[in-house]
Structure 1
């Protein structure tokens, strides 16, 4: 009975492991669910199957949002210029630093969202082509580890980033409502708004104040959700592209069989691949002739080359759609990190969290983009390493030529840039932090000198 029970448990665990290694398109679609939800909140459709009438309504609402932001941006700019002009001391001009991060986010969100709407077919093609590449059915254990690790990371990062921005919204938008509620119950609290708009009327009058507060809240939600949706799309595309690069590298590793002998030591990685090759192929390794293996290698190499070209092309689409916005994003991030840090140190009280949330969100957002850029570089390099170490020298002349050509292309590396100025990587993140810190220390020293004088 004990042995039967053990066999039953073994079969059950084996079935569970096999089921875990089975993938379909729904797994890919699920990774887009949070992003599509945020896009829906700001009336941007992406791979939605809806009627033309519904599409027109979505577009009308989107351009209504944009019209509001087109009014908000100049209003904040005029407010900043007016504050700077009327400031008599450096301390009076500090109010400009509180407005500048908000103004930068508005401009950035407008640029990002317009890109998504105007070039929607390109974004949808990226999503659809990567969906077609998604593996279906049972995969090997190594491929399962690659896919599951990528999906877990993506799920954790996307949800974490989503809630981080929601926390920013709550911390930044809730204080005026608490003040309004306190005033309603008779407490004498000074009225406050989220942003310093320039308005042709006094926004602190009764009724005007409530309307302005609600409008500013809506503007803040739209701006943050525009930025969040764009960032999540960038991470999604790079996550799936890097996953495909890793799967392709794994496929390349198993392309050729190299016999384990005195030259190929058993402890080498290629030897383990050869042993796995024997386990999967069995008698065919030695029984099939050179003509069979050459035809098979040629077929697999053709598929690998086509997939490699597709991934390079899709990375180029990501570069075209995201690079200019990334440049503006990183410039804005340097300013936000600098001025929010300045406000946290000198303006905001220790128990206030509005600009601290702004600072944490800016740091995490910049790191997130750079981290996925680094993953793309690393995954493309792993493909080059796999091509170099796949045992190509043990194949036919035709196969060797094809692999060497692909190796030459793979060694160039794949990456996304800030419109050609710099490569998106963790090195870029350190550069941004150094730049922001330099601005911060310069501003802080200037403030101290003015305070002494």
Structure 2
């Protein structure tokens, strides 16, 4: 018995859930009035806290006298680049009409029947457990960056040294001798919501990008399988040509959908690659300076998940690049020898179109592929080495 084949809505649950963690409803799913009000209030709190924290960060940087050591400089450099990265991705997520339009077009194209879904092997493209674990670990490790100072303070309290009132970000100054404990609670609440806004914006936008890219990949695989399995013949030439006409039309549609995807996410992809490399460099150097502390370990996890996040985007970019090119190979490999001349001319159209592979790109300048990932990691490693030598 075949397992139940996933629907289009099943694929959308994970990205919708992730962005929902910051109170943002990407697809405008109907909700009860009370739940809608609560989500809007929560989203407002996240955005307001984020704005307050960014304002304080800018104030501290202008003030400058509190940034008095290399460790803090690295910390602020990390925060600035991560905020730019996250806010860019949040701005991308705000293109809700464009995203909903692309989502609707891909939903119409999605295989409707169980047999069709089996043929397209949709279950093989569904979110893997490893991907879900990655998203969970990314959010968890990012949360630990905020929770870590509180845990350290608790450990200090139980080892009879007193509660140290540590918190995550260096924007706020808290003196337990002068300030009320409620101010500490308020600072922690601001930092938590600020972190939530940044982390979910970062991973949420990429999850939606991968969601759409996977859908396009499913259809390219479907085209390849259809061409490889089809047996044309002069005896049913009209049927054969209609089959190829559908393939050509679908190929054109997929190219248009990929272009729409690039228009929505291209800007954030370009800036994301640059800022992610910067974040990795500064976080790595900061971790080396801090040494073997709880904060250091949480940052190590954060670095690992951030690298995996970039790798996945580049991996799926490579997939669509390869599969769109493989369409030409599928045409060549399928049994067209008994087909009519007209059918073979149709094949040439498909081959010519496949000579320009469909690609995920950053604003048309930078194709996103595994080669991009390799270059990014190479540059990042060299910069980390240089910064470490400069500090030493």
* Shared fold (TM-score, shorter chain, > 0.5): yes
Structure 1 residues 411, 320: CA separation in 2 closer, same or farther (over 3 Å shift)? same
1:348-406 deviation line (CA, Å, top 9, x unaligned): 32554132122112211111111111111111122221123234454223222222112
- Is residue 383 of structure 1 aligned with residue 363 of structure 2? no
Instruction: Name 1:225's counterpart in structure 2.
Output: 200
Q: Say which is worse superposed, 311-320 or 126-135, in terms of deviation.
A: 126-135
Checking the alignment, whether the CA contact within 8 Å between 2:85 and 2:276 is kept in structure 1 is no
CA distance in 1, matches of 2:316, 2:265: 13
Partner of 1:269: none
Q: Which residue of 2 aligns with 1:327?
A: 270
Partner of 2:122: 147
- Provide the residue aligned with 2:84 in structure 1: 107
1:77 Cα offset (Å) = 3.5
Task: Give how far 1:414 is off.
Answer: 0.7
How far apart are 1:42 and its partner, in Å?
A: 1.6
Please tell me whether residue 298 in structure 1 is matched to residue 279 in structure 2: no
**2:144 and 2:298 in contact (8 A); partners too:** yes
- Residue 298 of structure 1 deviates from its aligned partner by 1.9
In the alignment, is the contact (CA less than 8 A) between 1:167 and 1:357 conserved in 2? no
- Cα deviation, residue 418, structure 1: 1.9
- Say which of 315, 319, 336 aligns to 1:371: 315
| Preserved CA contact (<8 Å) 1:377 1:414 | yes
- State yes or no: 1:169 paired with 2:142: yes
Q: Unpaired segments of 5 or more residues in structure 1?
A: 1-15, 258-284, 449-453
State how far apart, in whole Å, the 1-side matches of 2:208 and 2:117 are: 28
Aligned pairs for 1:309-324 within 5 A = 309-324=252-267
- Equivalent position of 2:110 in the other structure: 134
Query: CA, structure 1 residues 364+82, in 2 after alignment: closer, same or farther (shift >3 Å)?
Result: farther
2:66 and 2:166 mapped to 1: Cα distance? 22
1:346 aligns with 2:285: no
Aligned to 1:194: 168
**Aligned with 2:98 (options 111, 122, 126):** 122
Q: What SS does the aligned partner of 2:366 have?
A: coil
Distance 1:371 1:122 in 2: 24
- Corresponding residue for residue 263 of structure 1: none
Answer whether contact 1:294 1:396 (CA < 8 A) is retained.
Answer: yes
2 CA distance for matches of 1:136 and 1:295?
26
- TM-superposed deviation, 1:105: 2.2
- Secondary structure of the 1:353 match is helix
State the shift of 1:317 in Å.
Answer: 1.0
The answer to which of 95-104 and 72-81 deviates more is 72-81
Q: Answer yes or no: is the 8 Å Cα contact 2:141–2:298 preserved in 1.
A: yes
How does the TM-score come out when normalised to structure 1? Answer: 0.77
Distance change in 2, residues 1:84/1:93 (3 Å): farther
Once the 2 structures are TM-superposed, how far is the Cα of residue 321 of structure 1 from its aligned partner?
0.7
How many residue pairs are counted as aligned between the two chains? 387
Return closer, same or farther for 1:191/1:114 CA change in 2, 3 Å cut-off.
same
Query: Could you list the runs of 5+ residues in structure 2 that have no partner in the other structure?
Result: none
Bigger Cα Rg: 1
Range that drifts further, 215-224 or 73-82: 73-82
* 1:239 alignment partner in structure 2: 214
- When structure 1 is superposed on structure 2, of 374-383 and 51-60 the one drifting more is 51-60
State the shift of 1:341 in Å.
1.5
> Residues 77 and 103 of structure 1 are in contact (CA less than 8 Å); yes or no, is this contact kept in structure 2?
no
TM-score of the superposed pair, with normalisation by structure 2: 0.88
Q: Which residue of 2 aligns with 1:281?
A: none
- Structure with the bigger RCO (C-alpha within 8 Å, sep 6+) is 2
Q: Distance in 2 between matches of 1:129 and 1:60?
A: 31
Following superposition, the deviation at residue 115 of structure 1 comes to: 2.2
1:253 aligns with 2:233: no
Q: 1:302-337: per-residue Cα shift (whole Å, max 9, x none)?
A: 211221111111111110011110111111111111
